[in-house]
Structure 1
Amino acid sequence: MVIYGVAALAACLLIGTLVGELLGVAVGVDANVGGVGFAMILLVLVTHWLRQKGRFPEVTEQGVLFWSAMYIPIVIAMASSQNVVAAVTGGPMAILAGLGALLAGGALVPVLARIGEPAEPLPPLTPVAETAAADEKQGA
């Protein structure tokens, strides 16, 4: 059922928020430190584990996909805007930490791109899809 996917997402968000709050208390910051990130990582791990066990039906996956398409990008955008405001008002060390994380992430892109086996290329467009694409170009 779709509701199980939504429940899995909600549980991961609650656990991630709790971990982020606890991490904030541990480092002495009055804020949630990485709660959304922990929630996303937990969601990926839980759904992968459920797929391996054969306990993640496609209908349940639709619930996760729906909210991941709607909710997670909005939360990330909200969190990133708060982080930018905090970085600008927090001084040069916050900005340097953000730039360091950006550079480290950019440096890891080629490393992560090499993980796994190369995939097969997509099949060519069907004649119906090609006709529709040509019609769209003429109409634009």
Structure 2
Amino acid sequence: MLIYGVSLMSGCLIAGAIIGKLIGHMVGIDADVGGVGIAMLLLVVITRWFMDRDQLSELAQQGIKFWSAMYIPIVVAMAASQNVVAAFNAGTLAFIAGLLPVVAGFLLIRPLAALGGTSEPEEAAKPAKRAAQGAK
């Protein structure tokens, strides 16, 4: 099942990198400009196009969904490692400027979670609601 999404994801990544390099070349930068974002958009659009036309088996859909879900965290981790290397090379101030939002994010997890309140999964809540209604 998992192998089905790999070729589509790889094709989108290669196409996104090529398009990103072309955009970078057009604006005069020797770098990939937005290739990862373009690849993600291509992955979403192409997957939806195939699913709308019922051209994917259930196994292929599951594989593509799996790799679509895995793609974003992998790409974010890759970009984050590049940013850390660039921050170390740029000096202490750049590293601190990148570290402060991370620390602030960690500190805000509890307050933001408290604002959301508690919730029960929908399936777990149904038997409890039925039992409460039956007791009345």
- Give the partner amino acid of 2:10: A
Residues 1:49 and 2:49 aligned together: yes
Which whole-Å CA distance do the structure 1 matches of 2:46 and 2:69 have between them? 18
Question: In structure 1, what is the equivalent of residue 67 of structure 2?
Answer: 67
Question: In structure 2, what is the equivalent of residue 77 of structure 1?
Answer: 77
Which whole-Å CA distance do the structure 1 matches of 2:25 and 2:87 have between them? 19
Which whole-Å CA distance do the structure 1 matches of 2:28 and 2:86 have between them? 16
Contact kept? 1:24, 1:32, Cα under 8 Å: yes
Displaced runs of 4 or more, over 6 A = none
Displacement of 1:16 in angstroms is: 0.5
Which whole-Å CA distance do the structure 1 matches of 2:74 and 2:13 have between them? 14
Residues 1:13 and 2:13 aligned together: yes
**TM-score, normalisation: structure 2:** 0.58
Contact kept? 1:17, 1:39, Cα under 8 Å: yes
- Give the partner amino acid of 1:58: E
Q: Give the secondary structure class of the aligned counterpart of 2:33.
A: coil
Higher mean C-alpha displacement, 62-71 vs 46-55: 62-71
Contact kept? 1:2, 1:61, Cα under 8 Å: no
Q: Give the secondary structure class of the aligned counterpart of 2:38.
A: helix
Which is greater in Rg?
Answer: 2
1:29-40 pair list within 5 angstroms = 29-40=29-40
Which whole-Å CA distance do the structure 1 matches of 2:44 and 2:24 have between them? 23
Which whole-Å CA distance do the structure 1 matches of 2:122 and 2:71 have between them? 32
Contact kept? 1:36, 1:76, Cα under 8 Å: no
Q: Kindly tell me the number of residue pairs found equivalent between the two proteins.
A: 101
Displacement of 1:22 in angstroms is: 0.7
Displacement of 1:54 in angstroms is: 0.7
Ranges in structure 2 where 5+ consecutive residues have no aligned partner: 98-120, 128-136
- Alignment identity in percent? 53
